[in-house]
Amino acid sequence: MPQVAAWGEQVARGVNFPELVFHGLLGLLLFAGSLHVDLHALRRARWVVLVLATAGVVISTAVIGWAFFYLTRALGLPITLRESLLFGALISPTDPIAALGLLRKARVPPSLLTKIT
């Protein structure tokens, strides 16, 4: 079995995982998730979706950024407001693949599912 372990380690070291995920798997996952979107329902809810996708993300970025800024200040860490807002921008948008899976398991009504995903 040491030969199999060595082979597996060699394969793992040869794969650029960030490249594989961002340029390979992510596109496939997003495409698969979009196959189940009801386009008629999406058109009916387009304004709600637009507001959530823009204003919702901006508000979430600001709230998370400012909260992170004050938290790091309280802990005595030298994080600037700009860095804190950048952190908020990085984690504010929801992951559509993760959200879709969780919402389906929770049996969310289809109209809400369309607006969120």
pLDDT of residue 112: 75
Domain that holds residue 15: 1-35
Say if residue 81's pLDDT is above 90.
Answer: yes
**Cα(10)–Cα(13) distance, rounded to whole angstroms?**
5
Reported as a pLDDT band with limits 50, 70 and 90, residue 67 is very high
Give yes or no: residues 21 and 56 share one domain: no
Instruction: For residue 98, give Cα distances in angstroms to 65, 67, 104, 105, 116.
Output: 22, 24, 10, 11, 12
Is residue 57 pLDDT above 80, yes or no? yes
> Would you state the pLDDT for residue 96?
63
Higher pLDDT, 56 or 94: 56
49 shares a domain with 86? yes
* Average pLDDT of the chain, as a whole number: 81
Domain identity same for 47 and 17: no
Both 31 and 50 in one domain: the answer is no
Is 113 found in the same domain as 80? Answer: yes
42 and 29 together in one domain: no
Residues 6 and 43 in one domain: no
Tell me which amino acid residue 75 is. Answer: L
With cut-offs at 50, 70 and 90, classify the pLDDT of residue 1: low
67 and 56, same domain (yes or no) = yes
**64 and 14 inside one domain:** no
Question: Is the overall model pTM greater than 0.85, yes or no?
Answer: no
